[in-house]
Amino acid sequence: MREHSIAVVFGTRPEVVKLAPVVWALGPAARTIHTGQHYAPALADTLMAELGLDPPTLRLTVGGSSRGTQLGEAIARLDQAFAAEPPDVVVVQGDTTSALAAALAANARAIPLVHVEAGLRSYDRAMPEEHNRIVADHLADLCCAPTDTSRAHLAAEGISGARVVVTGNTVVDAAARMLPDETERAAILERFGLTHDAFVLSTFHRPENVDDDARLQVILRELDALPLPVLLPLHPRTKARLDASGSDALGRVQAVEPLGYRDFLALARECAFLVSDSGGVQEEASIVKRPVLVVRASTERPEVLGTFAELVPPGRSIGELGRAWAEDLTAIHARLATLPTPYGDGHAGVRTVDAIATLST
C-alpha cells in the first residue's frame, strides 16, 4: 500500500482505541482523520498519544452540536477532504455518528469502504447506534466481523461471501498492548486510594441514562448504596448533566476526571466488578476477567451475556445484583478466570489490514 492511501476515520474514544491496532498495522499507509465528535482532551489528543498514535493527519471540529448537525457537518467536511485527496479506501469502526458520516461520504465518492466491528445487532430500534451500524454495514465493501455471531447477523441481511471476514475484535489487540503489569497496577490503585477486589468501577454516558435526570438520580443512588466504594470517571456528557441539574446526588461515589486508557484497564482488572452502559466495557470486562452489570435494556454483544455481563434494564436493581455479586466475589472471579474472551486472539488489526489489501490492489 502506498503512503497515506488508507483514510482511517474516528471521532470518539472507543473508535480511537479500536482503530489504533489497524493504524499500527497500516504504518505509513494510514491517513488518520479525527472528526472532533469527542473533543475533550482526555477523550481525544491525550488518548491518541497514550496509544502511540501521531496527531491526526486531518482534524475536523464537529463536536458539541446536535446529532443531526454533527452528521451533516461531518459528511460535508469529509466529502471535501475525500475530493481534495481521494484515498484508496476509507476505514470506519462501530456505530457512532462519525462512522456513519464517513461511510456516507465514502459512498458518495465511490471510495471502497471497510467497516471494522461489523455485524453487531441489538435489535433495539430505540438506539441511534443500531441505525448507524446497519447503514454502515450495508454500505461497506468489506465488513470485518468480530465474531461468528456477527457474521451470522450479516448473512441474515444478505451480506456474505467476500464482503465479510471474521477478524476478532481489535479491542483485544489494544488491551493486550496497553494493560499495565501487576506492579504498575498496584501503583495506580494507590494513586486512587483503592484496594484490589474491594471497589466498583463505573461509567455512564448513554443519553437514556444521563439525559433523563430522574433516571440518573436513581443510578447514582443505587451506586451509592453498594457495599463497596465506587469510582466513577465522569464522561463530559455525564458531568454536564450533573452540573446543569445542580445535583449533589453522588453521595459516597468518588467522581473523577476521564481516565487514560492504561489507568482504566488497570482499574478494571483490579476492581470487584464494573457497572456501565458502555458497549466497549463489556468487551474489556471479558479481557480483564471481571463481571460487568450492563445498565441498558439491550446489548449488541450477546457473546458475553451470562458469563461476563448481565443486563440491568430499567426496573431492575443495580443494588440488588451488585450486593449479590459482592457476597460471592471469590467464586465469580475464579470462574471468569477460566473463560477466554470471545473476541479473539489479539491479531484482529493485522487480519483487518490483510483484508483491506484485497480492496486496494
Task: State residue 38's pLDDT score.
Answer: 65
- Domain ranges for the chain: 6-169+344-357, 180-337
Q: How many CB atoms lie within 10 A of CB 212?
A: 14
Task: State residue 359's pLDDT score.
Answer: 85
Task: State residue 64's pLDDT score.
Answer: 66
Task: State residue 100's pLDDT score.
Answer: 97
Please tell me whether residue 120 adopts helix, strand or coil conformation.
Answer: coil
Handedness of CA 205, 207, 208, 209 (dihedral sign): positive
Are 167 and 351 in contact, with CB atoms under 8 Å apart?
A: yes
Residue 252 CA to its chain's centroid (Å): 27
* Alpha carbon distance 159, 153 (integer Å): 9
Using alpha carbons only, give the angle 140, 143, 149 rounded to the nearest 5 degrees.
Answer: 135
User: Which architecture characterizes domain 180-337 according to CATH?
Assistant: 3-Layer(aba) Sandwich (3.40)
Q: Which residues are catalytic?
A: 205
User: Which architecture characterizes domain 6-169+344-357 according to CATH?
Assistant: 3-Layer(aba) Sandwich (3.40)
The pLDDT averaged over each successive group of 10 residues in the chain (361 residues) is 86 95 97 83 79 94 77 94 96 97 98 98 94 98 98 98 98 98 98 98 91 89 95 86 72 91 97 97 98 96 97 92 96 98 98 91 52
Task: State residue 295's pLDDT score.
Answer: 96
Q: Which of 207, 213, 264, 257 is nearest to 235 (CA)?
A: 257
Task: Take residue 132 and report the three cell numbers written for it.
Answer: 448507524
Local structure of residue 146 (DSSP, 8 states): S
Task: Take residue 58 and report the three cell numbers written for it.
Answer: 486531518
Strand pairing partners for 255? 232
Task: State residue 48's pLDDT score.
Answer: 92
* Alpha carbon distance 353, 147 (integer Å): 17
Are 118 and 164 in contact, with CB atoms under 8 Å apart?
A: yes
